[in-house]
C-alpha cells in the first residue's frame, strides 16, 4: 500500500529532503510559484481552495481530478506520495483521502475527512473520477424561532447557507402574526429552497417556547434524520452541522452537544453539558427517534435546558464536540 502524506508549503520546504524517493502533487494558488522540490517527480495543479465558483478565482474542476488519476496510477505502487497545498489541510487532505480510499485504506481516509477542513468539492470530484461512492448525508432540520425583526433571521439563514454540510432544511416559526416578514426577508433562494416559514396565529412570548413543538413536528414530517432547535438571533459557525453529524455517526450517539459562545457570559465559552444552564437552544442536535420521545411542553426561562436534560435521560448515548460551534445572541 502506498504511503500518502500531506504537507503544507512550509513543511515541504523544510522537510521534503527527508523523502527523496517520494513523488509530489502540488496544489497552489494562482500567482504563487511551486514549492521547491527539484528531486521529486511532480504534478503541479493550480486552483484556489474554494468549493463554489467565484468570479476571478479558480475552483476545483473535473479536469483537475482527471489529471490526478492517471498520474498517480503510473507511479510505482510502493512509491511514497506527498500531497501539498499552502497549509496542508484543504486541497491536500481532500486529495489524500480520496487516494487512500482508492487503495482501500478507508480508516486513514475517514480520519482525514473528520479533520473537517478538506475541500469538499475536490474530494467529490476525485471520488467520481476514481469510481468511489460518497455516502449521502442524512438530512438535518432546524426549527428556528422568529422573534425579532427579520434581519436577524436573514443572518441566521446566511450562517446555514455557509455550512460545509449541505443536506439541511430550516423551518422558521414566528411568534404570532408577522405581516412584514415576507416583504423584509431578503435571502434569495438558489436552486432548491431549503427553508420554509410557519406563521402562527398569536403572539405568546415566553422566548418562543410555546411554538417549539410545532417546529419539531414539522421537522419530523419532512423526514429529517437529525433535528435541532435555534433562535433567529443565533449564528452557526460553518463547521457546525458537519462536526455535529460526524460526532453522532462516529460515536453512535443520538444526542450531540457542542460548546457555545453566549452573550450572557460576554461571549465566553459555555460547556457542552446536558443540564439546564449549559444546554440551550442551538447547541445540540438529536436523532429523530430520540426527539419523538420527548415533548417540549414547558415554557419558562430554563425550559429549553430542561428539555435537553430529558432528551439526555432517554438517549442511548450523548456525544460532546468540545468546540464553540454556536454563537448565541
C-alpha cell at 64: 483537475
User: Which whole number is the average pLDDT over 230-243?
Assistant: 97
Model pLDDT for residues 26-56, shown as the tens digit of each residue = 999 999 999 887 778 999 999 999 988 899 9
Model pLDDT for residues 258-294, shown as the tens digit of each residue = 999 999 889 999 999 999 988 999 999 999 999 999 9
Model pLDDT for residues 190-219, shown as the tens digit of each residue = 456 799 989 999 999 999 999 999 999 999
Q: If pLDDT is split at 50, 70 and 90, which confidence band does 307 have?
A: very high
The torsion of the CA quartet 220, 224, 225, 228, rounded to 10 degrees, works out to: -80
Q: Residue 187: its pLDDT value, please? A: 61
Specify whether the CB–CB gap between 148 and 155 falls below 8 A. Answer: no
Neighbours of 24 (CB within 10 A): 23
Specify whether the CB–CB gap between 238 and 166 falls below 8 A. Answer: no
C-alpha cell at 174: 414566528
**Which strand (E) or helix (H) includes residue 229?**
strand 226-231
C-alpha cell at 4: 500518502
The answer, yes or no, to whether residue 179 has pLDDT greater than 80, is no
Q: Residue 40: its pLDDT value, please? A: 85
Q: Is 262 helix (H, G, I), strand (E, B) or coil?
A: strand
The Cα–Cα gap between 219 and 140 comes to 9
How are beta strands 318-328 and 195-198 bridged, if at all? unpaired
Q: If pLDDT is split at 50, 70 and 90, which confidence band does 150 have?
A: confident
The Cα–Cα gap between 228 and 282 comes to 7
Report the Cα–Cα distance between both ends of the chain, in Å, rounded: 50
Residue 128, CB-side half-sphere exposure with 13 Å CA sphere: 13
User: Which whole number is the average pLDDT over 73-80?
Assistant: 94
Amino acid at each position: 500500500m502506498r504511503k500518502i502524506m500531506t504537507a503544507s508549503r512550509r513543511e515541504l520546504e523544510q522537510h521534503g529532503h527527508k523523502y527523496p524517493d517520494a513523488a509530489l502533487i502540488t496544489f497552489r494558488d494562482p500567482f504563487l510559484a511551486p514549492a521547491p522540490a527539484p528531486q521529486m517527480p511532480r504534478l503541479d495543479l493550480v486552483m484556489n481552495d474554494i468549493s463554489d465558483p467565484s468570479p476571478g478565482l479558480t475552483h476545483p474542476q473535473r479536469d483537475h481530478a482527471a489529471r490526478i488519476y492517471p498520474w498517480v496510477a503510473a507511479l510505482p505502487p510502493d512509491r511514497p506520495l506527498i500531497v501539498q497545498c499552502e497549509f496542508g489541510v484543504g486541497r491536500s487532505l481532500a486529495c489524500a483521502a480520496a487516494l487512500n480510499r482508492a487503495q482501500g485504506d478507508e480508516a486513514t481516509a475517514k480520519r482525514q475527512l473528520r479533520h473537517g477542513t478538506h475541500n469538499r468539492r475536490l474530494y467529490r470530484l476525485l471520488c467520481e473520477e476514481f469510481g468511489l461512492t460518497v455516502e449521502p448525508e442524512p438530512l438535518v432540520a432546524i426549527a428556528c424561532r422568529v422573534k425579532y425583526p427579520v434581519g436577524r433571521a436573514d443572518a441566521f439563514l446566511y450562517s446555514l447557507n455557509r455550512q460545509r454540510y449541505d443536506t439541511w432544511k430550516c423551518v422558521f416559526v414566528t411568534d404570532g402574526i408577522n405581516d412584514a416578514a415576507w416583504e423584509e426577508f431578503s435571502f434569495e433562494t438558489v436552486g432548491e429552497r431549503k427553508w420554509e416559514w410557519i406563521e402562527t396565529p398569536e403572539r405568546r412570548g415566553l422566548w418562543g417556547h410555546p411554538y417549539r413543538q410545532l417546529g419539531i413536528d414539522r421537522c419530523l414530517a419532512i423526514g429529517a434524520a437529525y433535528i435541532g432547535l435555534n433562535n433567529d438571533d443565533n449564528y452557526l459557525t460553518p463547521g457546525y452541522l458537519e462536526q455535529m453529524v460526524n460526532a453522532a455517526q462516529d460515536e453512535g450517539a443520538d444526542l450531540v452537544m457542542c460548546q457555545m459562545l453566549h452573550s450572557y457570559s460576554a461571549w465566553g465559552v459555555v460547556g457542552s453539558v446536558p443540564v439546564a444552564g449549559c444546554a440551550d437552544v442551538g447547541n445540540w442536535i438529536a436523532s429523530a427517534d430520540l426527539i419523538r420521545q420527548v415533548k417540549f411542553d414547558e415554557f419558562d426561562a430554563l425550559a429549553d435546558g430542561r428539555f435537553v436534560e430529558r432528551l439526555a435521560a432517554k438517549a442511548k448515548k450523548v456525544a460532546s464536540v468540545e468546540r464553540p460551534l454556536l454563537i448565541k445572541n
